[in-house]
Amino acid sequence: MYGYRCEYCEGTVQPLKVKREAFKHKSGFVILEDVTIGICNTCGNRYYSADILHAVNDIATGAKSPDRIDQIPVTHLESA
Ligand SMILES: [Zn+2]
């Protein structure tokens, strides 16, 4: 499903198995674990298969329940 040419450079998109990958969506984040994403071997741009994007969308919209909910630490910088 990967192995195609990068959209941004001459590189090739290679499959890469990652422990965690965070996806941003309208109302927050979804984290997928042990997922195979595509990464360009030249510029490092990340690519996601339709399966991954569907899974993120299903969790984000509540169509599917997540395995668990992790809390994400949030803070403000006083000096910012
Ligand atoms: Zn590239």
Residue 43's contacts (CB-CB under 8 Å, 6 or more residues apart) are: 6, 8, 9, 11
Ligand 1 centre distance from Cα of residue 27 (Å): 29
Integer-rounded Cα Rg, in Å, for the chain is 15
Ligand 1 centre distance from Cα of residue 36 (Å): 17
pLDDT band at 1 (very low <50, low <70, confident <90, very high): confident
Backbone conformation region of residue 52, classed left if phi is above 0, alpha if psi is from -120 to 50, else beta: alpha
* Domains along the sequence of the chain with CATH: 1-80 (3.10.20)
At residue 29, what are phi and psi to the nearest 5 degrees?
Answer: -125, 150
- Tens of pLDDT, residues 18-73: 999 999 988 789 999 999 999 999 999 999 999 999 999 999 999 999 999 999 89
What is the identity of the amino acid at 60? Answer: A
Ligand 1 centre distance from Cα of residue 31 (Å): 24
Which three-class secondary structure state does DSSP give residue 25? strand
Tell me what pLDDT residue 14 has. Answer: 98
